[in-house]
Amino acid sequence: MTNNIMQAMVLRKTGTPLEWTELADPQPGRGEIRVQVAACGVCRTDLHVVDGELPDPKVPIIPGHEIVGRINSIGADVAGLSIGERVGIPWLGHTCGICPYCLEHRENLCDHPLFTGYTRNGGFATMVVADARFAFPLGETGDDTSLAPLLCAGLIGWRSLVIAGEGKKLGLYGFGAAAHIIAQVAQSQGRSVFAFTRPGDAATQSFARGLGAVWSGGSDEMPPELLDAAIIFATVGELVPLALKAVRKGGRVVCAGIHMSDIPRFPYRLIWEERQLLSVANLTRQDGIEFLRLAPKLGIITKTNSYPLNQANQALADLRAGRFEGAAVLVP
């Protein structure tokens, strides 16, 4: 730890590896806090940013939006937060507060947002500055590394689960960081989880059953009974018609990712009978407050794989290749 110099893994150009960089400590401006990063999860969205699959990243950029750390400096006009307090910094980094979406409490769709690790600097670093209004106080329960994946995998998963409705039989396509958290939440609500993985991925299928899934199999398989709803966490458009086929009349299919490969054409009968296809974008602060209040009560256990900060490229490569179960977390 140093006083005036921070370390960061910086994306200079999309499609290139992150570079270990030393920078002057950032200073919090009006309404901002500076946080000493204790852990930062690695999300599929970080891969999309690095790969240039999302439009107009603000390069050079420090990725990372599942940040857990402690406040070590507070700018002007910040209320309700104190030095040393542990906070989480999520993907939604700023909203305008005045566009039609903000005004109708749908700030996840804000016309002029900033996103942590995409259009403002994130947590693949020892230090990060954040808009104080978008930081979540985390309290002292739980260790930093275990909490980090809740900040996006957990939050986006939670929003997806709410949008999926009340159905008891829930399919999860792609059993990575988000699904392994949401499977636990869904079961605490009395739902049955059906886990779909890459075909032949026996290790992840058994990981899912170990977390209580009543059935697990390849995404090319049909579940043993029709589902009430399915959430697609994988970024594969081919899964959309498969999931529609697996849900009952009136069932919902929710696409949880920020990016997906093209959805192939499919016959109208797959969406006929009031099946619904929806997507989830970003999060609202209300989602975060609800989920982070609920998570400790449910005793959610996150499976994490820790990497030192300077091995962020390895963590991204391992995520891409599906080389671990659960979530990767960088620890400075």
Residue with Cβ nearer Zn ion (38 or 74): 38
Report the residue count for the chain. Answer: 332
Query: Quick check: 330 binds Zn ion (CB under 5 A)?
Result: no
Residue with Cβ nearer Zn ion (117 or 241): 117
Minimum distance, C-beta of residue 49 to Zn ion, in the bound complex (Å): 10
Query: Quick check: 99 binds Zn ion (CB under 5 A)?
Result: yes
Q: What are phi and psi of 318, to 5 degrees?
A: -70, -35
Residue with Cβ nearer Zn ion (35 or 102): 102
Binding mask 30-49 for Zn ion (x = CB under 5 A): -------------x-x----
Minimum distance, C-beta of residue 30 to Zn ion, in the bound complex (Å): 19
Residue with Cβ nearer Zn ion (96 or 114): 96
C-alpha 249: how far from its chain's center? 29
Query: Quick check: 315 binds Zn ion (CB under 5 A)?
Result: no
Give CA–CA dist 270/318, Å, rounded: 35
Instruction: Report whether 284 contacts 108 (CB < 8 A).
Output: yes
Binding mask 113-152 for Zn ion (x = CB under 5 A): ---------------------------------------x
Place of tokens 């009006």: 30
Determine if residue 117 is left, alpha or beta; phi over 0 gives left, psi from -120 to 50 gives alpha, anything else beta.
left
Amino acid at 129: V
Q: Look up residue 132 and give its two tokens.
A: 């104080």
Per CB under 5 A, the list member of 102, 170, 232, 253 interacting with Zn ion is 102
Q: What is the 3-state secondary structure (H, E, C) of 190-248?
A: CCEEEEEECCCCHHHHHHHHHCCCCEEEECCCCCCCCEEEEEECCCCCCHHHHHHHHEE
Binding mask 56-95 for Zn ion (x = CB under 5 A): ---------------------------------------x
Query: Quick check: 110 binds Zn ion (CB under 5 A)?
Result: yes
Binding site for Zn ion (CB under 5 A): 43, 45, 95-96, 99, 102, 110, 152
